[in-house]
Structure 1
Amino acid sequence: ENKTSLFYLLSADALKCNECIPDQAGTCTNKQVECSSNQICASLREIYSEGGAERSNVLSKRCVPTEECGDSSFNYANFKTSFVIECCNSDFCNTKDASAPIKSIPNKMKCYGCVGLPCNRTLNCESNQDRCITSTVTDQGGTKVARGCATKKICSSPTFLQGNKIVGKVDSCCEGNYCNSATTATASLLAVPLISLVLLY
C-alpha cells in the first residue's frame, strides 16, 4: 500500500507545461510536454541590446529547473542580454508571456568590459549583476575573449542559455571589482588555447 502511495506522489511531481521554443525566424508552435521532476513551468523573455538600442525581444515557454527562475543578465561593453523567467507550479500554468525586465540601475560593482583586446574599459554592473565574467565568443568568424558583468545564474551555464551564441562559452566568473583582469592566472591560461586556435585556422 505504501509503495502505491509513493508511486502516485512521484507521478504527481511531474508537471505538464506549455512549450514554445522559437526557431531562427522567431516563430514557435506551442506543444504540451511533461517536465522532469526537478522542473517547473516557465515563461521566458530574452532581450538583446547593442549600444543601448534593443535589437531583439524573444518570448518562449518551457520547463526549467526551479533555481533558474527570476531575472538575470550579462553585458560585455556595448552588448547586453537580459532574461526574465517567470515560473509557476501547476499544470499548463505558463500561458502568459513573461513581463518586460525592470529598468536596470547601476550598482557599485565594476568589471572590465570588452569583446577582444585591449580590455581596459571599466564597465559599471547593473541591478543584480554580482559577478565579473570572462567568456569565449565567436565574433565575425573569429574567436575572441569577452569580459563583462553577469548575475550568478549566468555563471552556472543554465539551460536557458543553451543555443545563445551571444554569451559564448563561460570560462570563469569571479567576485570583486575588476577581478576579470587579463592579468589573472586563469585568464592568461585560457588565452593560450585561443591563440593556438586562431593560428590553426
Structure 2
Amino acid sequence: MDLQISFFLLFAFFTAGHSFSCYECIGVTGSCADQTLTTCPSGFSKCVSLTSTVQAGGISATVKAKNCAADCASGSMNLGFEKDSFACCNTDKCNMQDAPAPSNVPNGKTCYSCDGQSCLNVLSCSEGEDRCLKATGSFLGQSMVVKGCASKSICDAVTSVSDVQSISCCEGNLCNGAQSVTQSFLFLCCSLLSFILLH
C-alpha cells in the first residue's frame, strides 16, 4: 500500500508542473518560419495550424498561422475569395508542421458564395468540402452574409461563434440560398477565423 501511495505522489509531483504547449506564429508572406513555443492558457488543450490563401483585386497572398485552441477541427473552408485549411491536434507541441495548402481539386459540389455585392456567385467546392456554409451577422448596424463550401468537421466546429447571429451548413448543391447582400462581410470572416483559431 505504501508503494502505491509513493508512486502516486511521485507521479503527481512530476506532472503538476507540466503545462500544455503549442507552436505560435503568424506569417503573412506564406511562411511561418519564426514560430515560437508558447504555454497555452487554462482550458486550451489543442493546437491548430492554418494555411489560408486570399485573393482580392488581382492580388493573391498566403497566410500561415499557429496557436493554442480550446476547440478546433481539421478540414477546409472555401469562401471564394479565401480558402482555408486547418490542422488540429491534441498532443503537446503537435502543431510544428504547417497545415497543408488548401486543395484546388474540384469535387463536383457547388455552393453559393458572396463577393460583397451579391451572394449569387456559384462556387465549385474542392475535395474534402462536402457542405455548403451560410453565416449571418451584423456589425455597426449593417447586416452581413458569408457563404461558401466547408468540410463537415469545420461546420461542426463553428456552430456557436460570437458576433454571428446564425451559422448553418447543408449537404445539397446550392443549398445555402441565393439571397443578395450589399454590405461588407470581411468582419464576419474575421469572426469565423478568430473563433476557429482561438476557441
Do they superpose with TM above 0.5?
yes
Deviations 1:151-200 (A, max 9, x none): 223322289x999xxxx7652211112211248xxxxxxx9xxxxxxxxx
**1:197 alignment partner in structure 2:** none
Provide TM-score, normalisation by structure 1. 0.58
Q: In 2 relative to 1, CA 9–65 (structure 1 residues): closer, same or farther, beyond 3 Å?
A: farther
Provide TM-score, normalisation by structure 2. 0.59
Q: In 2 relative to 1, CA 65–182 (structure 1 residues): closer, same or farther, beyond 3 Å?
A: same
Q: In 2 relative to 1, CA 181–86 (structure 1 residues): closer, same or farther, beyond 3 Å?
A: closer
- Tell me if the contact between 2:76 and 2:102 (Cα under 8 Å) persists in the aligned partners: no
Which residues in structure 2 correspond to 1:25-40 (within 5 Å)?
30-34=36-40, 36=42, 39-40=45-46
- Tell me if the contact between 1:71 and 1:101 (Cα under 8 Å) persists in the aligned partners: no
Cα offset, 1:132, TM superposition: 1.0
Q: RMSD in angstroms over aligned alpha carbons?
A: 4.6
| Unpaired runs of at least 5, structure 2 | 182-199
- Tell me if the contact between 2:50 and 2:84 (Cα under 8 Å) persists in the aligned partners: no
Cα offset, 1:18, TM superposition: 2.9
Secondary structure of the corresponding residue to residue 128 of structure 2 = coil
Cα offset, 1:10, TM superposition: 7.0
**2:185 alignment partner in structure 1:** none
29, 53, 58: which one aligns with 2:63:
58
- Tell me if the contact between 1:115 and 1:147 (Cα under 8 Å) persists in the aligned partners: no
1:17 and 2:8 are equivalent in the alignment:
no
**1:187 alignment partner in structure 2:** none
Aligned residues with identical type, % of pairs: 28
Whole-Å separation in 1 of the counterparts to 2:8 and 2:104:
50
Q: In 2 relative to 1, CA 86–150 (structure 1 residues): closer, same or farther, beyond 3 Å?
A: closer
**1:85 alignment partner in structure 2:** 87
Q: In 2 relative to 1, CA 15–177 (structure 1 residues): closer, same or farther, beyond 3 Å?
A: same
Whole-Å separation in 2 of the counterparts to 1:13 and 1:66:
20
Q: In 2 relative to 1, CA 40–146 (structure 1 residues): closer, same or farther, beyond 3 Å?
A: closer
Whole-Å separation in 2 of the counterparts to 1:133 and 1:95:
29
Whole-Å separation in 2 of the counterparts to 1:133 and 1:72:
12
Cα offset, 1:128, TM superposition: 0.8
| Unpaired runs of at least 5, structure 1 | 184-190, 192-201
**2:143 alignment partner in structure 1:** 143
- Tell me if the contact between 1:46 and 1:58 (Cα under 8 Å) persists in the aligned partners: yes
**2:77 alignment partner in structure 1:** 73
How many residues of Structure 1 are paired with residues of Structure 2 in the alignment?
Answer: 171
- Tell me if the contact between 1:47 and 1:56 (Cα under 8 Å) persists in the aligned partners: yes
- Tell me if the contact between 1:133 and 1:170 (Cα under 8 Å) persists in the aligned partners: no
Whole-Å separation in 2 of the counterparts to 1:109 and 1:94:
30
Cα offset, 1:129, TM superposition: 0.8
Whole-Å separation in 2 of the counterparts to 1:115 and 1:43:
26
**1:128 alignment partner in structure 2:** 128
Bigger relative contact order (CA 8 A; separation at least 6): 2
Cα offset, 1:110, TM superposition: 1.8
